[in-house]
Structure 1
C-alpha cells in the first residue's frame, strides 16, 4: 500500500515544472524581463495540490543557490513562507493566516527580496490580490471554475494558462504496481499470488471504466463506492435541461461549475501543444459517456424536435461524435446519415459504391431498426472474456485501445456484395464498416495505431479471423458541414525507423489496398434534427 512518505511524480507534473523553470531561468539567470504569472487548471482530484504543488515547492526550494530568496505557498487559508538559506544563515519557514501572509510577502518584495508564490485556490476561498505578482513569480492551482481565478486574471497582465491531464492508464498501472510491490516481488514463483494480482488489476480497470482514471477514486474502496453511486444518481436524475447543460460544457459554451455533479461527470483535457495552450471537456469515463448517449437517445425518441446539433457541431469534436453516433442508432436518422457518402479518391480508377448506400436504402424501404443493439467494448486488449462479433451491431470504441476509429459495424449478405473474385462459395459476404467522427480537415494515422486496433479487435472477438476472412473494408469519415472537407484518401504512414519492419509494412499495405474510404458531411440538408424527426 501507499505510505504517507511515498512520493508520486507524474510526467504531467514534471512538464509543469519544466515550464516554470524555463521562465525562472529567463528571469533570474538571464535577466530577460519579468516573471510570468501562471494559472494551472485541471480536473478536481487528480493531484494539483499535493502533486503539482508539492513538487513545485520541492524544486523551488532547491533552485539555483542565491537566486531565489523566498518561496510562499498558500494552502487552505494558510500562507507558508520559506526563507531559503543564504550567506551561512539557515533556512526557515513561517506560517501565517492568508491575509497576514500576503502582507508579509508585500513587505519582503518592497525590501528587494525575490520570491515565488504557489497559490492553491479552492471553492469559496478567494485569492489574495495585494501580493507582488508583477515582481515575483507565481502559479495559481485551480479547478476549471473560472470564478476561482477571475479576479486574479483581472489584476495580472496576460497570465499564461497551463492545463494538466488526468492520469494516463499506464500511470494508473504503475501506481497500482507500487502499491502492490511486495506481492509483485513474490508473484514470479507463486501462481496464486500472480492470479490474485491479475484479478485485482482487472477490478481496478473496471473501476476506471466507471469513475475515470484518478487514484483517489479507484484505489480507495470507500471513495470509489461513493463516486460511483454519486455518478449513477446524477445520471438517473438527468432531464433534457441537464443533458443540454453538459453538452454545452463539453462544447465549451458553458463554464465549469464547482459542484459534485460536474466533478463526477466532466473531465478537463489539454488540447494540442505550443506556447498557448487550450483545453476542452469530455465525459470523465467510459460508463458516464455511454449512459449520457443512452439518455440522449431516450430523450430524442420522445421529442426529436428539442435537439439541435448545429449548436455544437463545429465547437467540440467530442460532442459532435456523441451526436453522430447517437443519430446512427435510429432508423430514420441512419438513413439520412448513410446516404450520399462521397468516395475519397486514391488516384486509381477502381472505385466502388459504399455498401452503406444499399444498407441505408434497405432501412428506408423496410423501416427496420438500424442495428440490433449498441455495445461499448472497453480495454479490448485484455477483455475479461472474448465475445463473438455479430453483424449489424454498432460497436462504439470508448477506450484508448481503439485508436483510428470511433466505432464500427459489420454488414452481411447485402445485395451488390456477391460476385467478387476470390471468394469461397457458401461463405457469407461481409463488409467491415469503420467509423471516424472528426472536425479536422485531415485525419491521417500511423501503422502502429492500426496494428494496435487490430490487436484489440482480435482480443475482443473470438471469431474475428472468421468474420473478416475475405471481407471488404470501408472507412467513413463524418464531418460537420461548416468545416473544411476531406477530398482525398487519408494516409496511414509508417513511423520513422520502422520502414523495414514486416508488420508495419503489412499494415501499410492493408490500409492502402484493402480499405475503401468515404466522407459524409453532416449538413443542414441532412441535419440531425430533421433526420431524427419521426416524419423525417
Structure 2
C-alpha cells in the first residue's frame, strides 16, 4: 500500500491554521511542503534536512514528518524531528531494523497496516470496468483476477498487470524452491505475533496482518500471503522440517491454507496426538440422507 502518499494527501488537506508544513522523506531526500506559501522545496542530505527543520521550528511553524525508509536497515535519526510541536511517522516494511531503535528511543506507537484484501481488489475491478456494457464481461474479468489473487495475493500492482504477474509467480516459486534446512528456523514465526528479523524471510511469501488482541490492543499476525504460495511453502517446509516441528507450525496457522499440505503429508501428521486433538472439534460428520420408507403392496 502507498501509505506515505496517502498520509501526504490527507495532511496537505488538513487545516493550515493547525499545520503549516508537511515533510516527506525518502532516505537522504526531503521534500518540504509549505502550505502557507504553497511551495515545495527539495533538500538532499541528512544534515541539511535537519538544519531546515530546525529553522522552520524556530519560526514557530508546526509540521508533520512522513519518513519512508528507503533502504533496509536505515532508520531515521532519533533526533531528526524538532523537539516539540511536530509529529512524525516512520513508514516501513515489517523489517525490524528499519525502525526498532527509533521506536524504542521515542517510545512511538506501532501501527500495523494491512495490504489490500479481496474486497479492495474487487472495488478496483468495478471502477476499472465501469464502462463495460455487459455483466458477463465484468464477471469474466473478475474470475481472471481471482486466479491472480489465489496465486500471488491481493496485490494491486501484480493482479492487474499480466507481465508483472508472471514475473512475480516465477520469483515467488524460486524463493520456495531454494529453501534449505536452515531456512526452516526463520519460518517458525508463522502464526505468531513475532516480527521478522533480518532478511531471511521473504516478504514475497509472508505478510503481516493487523489483529485485535486483549483489551483492544493491536497485534501483528504473520500469515502466508496467498493460498497457492501457502501450499508451496508449507509443503516445502514439511519436506525439510522434523515432523513434530511441522505439526506445531501447522497448528499455529490459519486453517483455510492447509488443505494441500495436509493432503501430501497427513501420513505423519495424524500420528501426533496434539494434532488429532486440535482438529477433532472442527470435523463435521456427514450423515446419509434419510431414505423414504417404501411400502410394498402385493396384490393377489
TM range (shorter): 0.7 to 0.9
SS in 1 for 2:291: coil
For the Cα contact (< 8 Å) 1:121–1:142, is it kept in 2? yes
Deviation at 1:200, TM superposition (A): 2.1
For residues 117 and 235 of structure 1, do their structure 2 counterparts lie closer, same or farther at Cα, with a shift above 3 Å needed?
Answer: same
The answer to whether 1:173 aligns with 2:122 is yes
Q: How does 1:347-386 map to 2 (within 5 A)?
A: none
For 1:207, which of 148, 159, 162 is the aligned residue? 148
Q: How does 1:237-256 map to 2 (within 5 A)?
A: 237-252=178-193, 255-256=196-197
Q: Which residue of 2 aligns with 1:92?
A: 39
For residues 129 and 335 of structure 1, do their structure 2 counterparts lie closer, same or farther at Cα, with a shift above 3 Å needed?
Answer: closer
Q: Which residue of 2 aligns with 1:375?
A: none
What is the CA deviation profile of residues 215-262 of structure 1, one whole-angstrom value per residue up to 9, with x for unaligned ones? Answer: 011111221111100111111222332233213355355624457x61
Q: Which residue of 1 aligns with 2:291?
A: 424
CA distance in 2, matches of 1:140, 1:94: 20
For residues 277 and 338 of structure 1, do their structure 2 counterparts lie closer, same or farther at Cα, with a shift above 3 Å needed?
Answer: closer
Q: Which residue of 2 aligns with 1:457?
A: none
Q: Which residue of 2 aligns with 1:217?
A: 158
For 1:63, which of 11, 14, 33 is the aligned residue? 14
Deviation at 1:58, TM superposition (A): 2.2
The answer to whether 1:109 aligns with 2:57 is yes
For the Cα contact (< 8 Å) 1:68–1:115, is it kept in 2? yes
Q: How does 1:323-338 map to 2 (within 5 A)?
A: 326=262, 329-331=265-267, 333-334=269-270, 337=273
Q: CA RMSD in A?
A: 3.6
For the Cα contact (< 8 Å) 1:72–1:80, is it kept in 2? yes
SS in 1 for 2:65: strand
Q: Which residue of 1 aligns with 2:97?
A: 147
Deviation at 1:63, TM superposition (A): 1.8
For the Cα contact (< 8 Å) 2:184–2:240, is it kept in 1? no
Deviation at 1:278, TM superposition (A): 1.3
For the Cα contact (< 8 Å) 1:106–1:131, is it kept in 2? no
What is the CA deviation profile of residues 33-87 of structure 1, one whole-angstrom value per residue up to 9, with x for unaligned ones? Answer: xxxxxxxxxxxxxx2xxx32223222222222422221111135321111122xx
Q: Which residue of 1 aligns with 2:110?
A: 161
Length-normalised TM-score, structure 1: 0.47
CA distance in 1, matches of 2:287, 2:180: 37
Paired residues in the alignment total 286
- Give ranges in structure 1 of 5+ residues lacking alignment: 1-46, 188-193, 343-355, 357-404, 414-421, 427-536
CA distance in 2, matches of 1:276, 1:117: 25
What is the CA deviation profile of residues 70-124 of structure 1, one whole-angstrom value per residue up to 9, with x for unaligned ones? Answer: 1111135321111122xxxx32221111422222002222332211111111224
For residues 115 and 233 of structure 1, do their structure 2 counterparts lie closer, same or farther at Cα, with a shift above 3 Å needed?
Answer: same
Deviation at 1:264, TM superposition (A): 1.1
For 2:87, which of 124, 137, 158 is the aligned residue? 137
Length-normalised TM-score, structure 2: 0.80
Q: Which residue of 1 aligns with 2:296?
A: none
For residues 118 and 423 of structure 1, do their structure 2 counterparts lie closer, same or farther at Cα, with a shift above 3 Å needed?
Answer: same
For the Cα contact (< 8 Å) 1:144–1:268, is it kept in 2? yes
The answer to whether 1:263 aligns with 2:203 is yes
What is the CA deviation profile of residues 307-350 of structure 1, one whole-angstrom value per residue up to 9, with x for unaligned ones? Answer: 3756x689x4549x969x749953464255499969xxxxxxxx
For the Cα contact (< 8 Å) 1:249–1:255, is it kept in 2? no
CA distance in 2, matches of 1:53, 1:339: 43
For the Cα contact (< 8 Å) 2:238–2:246, is it kept in 1? no
CA distance in 1, matches of 2:290, 2:224: 43
For the Cα contact (< 8 Å) 2:21–2:34, is it kept in 1? yes
Q: Which residue of 2 aligns with 1:118?
A: 66
Q: Flag the structure with higher helix content.
A: 2
